[in-house]
Amino acid sequence: MDAQTRNEIRKMKTTISALMNLEGQDRQLVAEMAEDMLTDLETGDTLVELSYYVRRYCNVIDGSEEVRPIVSKIESHLAAAED
């Protein structure tokens, strides 16, 4: 497995973990997101932007106003995982 694939898998795992622990998040939607992410990796070798997954699979009502804080939380988990 190459470094890019390992990085994308780490990103996927961290995103799933962060969303599973997000208060009020529907875990069924997280499972569906994980399947979508795997499909993206299988068909395109990379994940799409985190904001896409958050918009599609999180309980986001107000659009981008709610997406950015969730993406920021995921990105902080990714940064911590790199340390």
Task: Encode the chain (83 residues) as per-residue pLDDT tens digits.
Answer: 788 888 999 999 999 999 998 888 899 999 999 999 999 999 987 899 999 999 888 877 666 788 999 999 999 988 988 76
Residue ranges making up the domain that contains 18: 3-82
Going by the DSSP 8-state scheme, the letter that residue 23 receives in this structure is T
The H or E element containing residue 4 is helix 3-20
pLDDT at 49: 92
CA dist list (Å): 27 to 10, 16, 23, 80: 19, 10, 10, 23
Q: Where are the alpha helices (DSSP H) in 1-83?
A: 3-20, 27-44, 50-57, 64-82
Q: Are 19 and 59 in contact (CB under 8 A)?
A: no
Going by the DSSP 8-state scheme, the letter that residue 76 receives in this structure is H
pLDDT at 75: 92
pLDDT at 65: 82
Going by the DSSP 8-state scheme, the letter that residue 62 receives in this structure is S
Coil, strand, or helix at residue 73?
Answer: helix
**Domains in the chain: how many in total?**
1
